[in-house]
A = this chain, B = another copy of it.
Amino acid sequence: MTTRAADHIREKLEQAILTGSYGDGVRLDELQLAEKFEVSRTPIREALQMLAASDLVELIPRRGAFVRHPGFVELVEMFEVMAELEGLCGRLAARRMTDSLLSELKTAEQGCMSALDDGDTDAYYRANEQFHTLLYQASGNSFLTAEAKRLHKRLQPFRRLQLQARGRMWQSMEEHKAILLALETGNAEASAGLLRDHVAIQGEKFHDLMAGYHAQPAGQGVEQMV
- Which residues from chain A sit less than 8 Å from chain B, CB to CB? 2-4, 45-46, 49-50, 53-54, 61-62, 74, 77-78, 80-81, 84-85, 87-88, 92, 141-144, 147
On whether the beta carbons of B77 and A84 are closer than 8 Å, the reply is no
A61 to B50 CA separation, bound complex (whole angstroms): 15
Number of copies of this chain that the complex holds: 2
- Provide the main secondary structure of the chain A interface: helix
Please pick, from B85, B87, B141, the residue contacting A77 in the complex, using a CB distance under 8 A. Answer: B141
Please pick, from B4, B45, B49, B144, the residue contacting A81 in the complex, using a CB distance under 8 A. Answer: B144
Q: List, in ascending order, chain B residues with CB within 8 A of A87's CB.
A: 84
A4 to B142 CA separation, bound complex (whole angstroms): 34
24 cross-chain CB contacts under 8 A: A3-B62, A45-B46, A46-B46, A49-B49, A49-B50, A49-B53, A50-B53, A74-B142, A74-B143, A77-B141, A77-B143, A77-B144, A78-B143, A80-B92, A80-B141, A80-B144, A81-B85, A81-B88, A81-B141, A81-B147, A84-B84, A84-B85, A84-B87, A84-B88
Q: What's the nearest-Cβ distance from chain B to residue A204, in Å?
A: 15
A53 to B46 CA separation, bound complex (whole angstroms): 11
Q: List, in ascending order, chain B residues with CB within 8 A of A78's CB.
A: 143
**Contacts beyond the supplied A46-B46, A77-B143, A80-B143: 5 A-B pairs with Cβ under 8 Å:** A3-B62, A45-B46, A49-B49, A78-B143, A84-B84
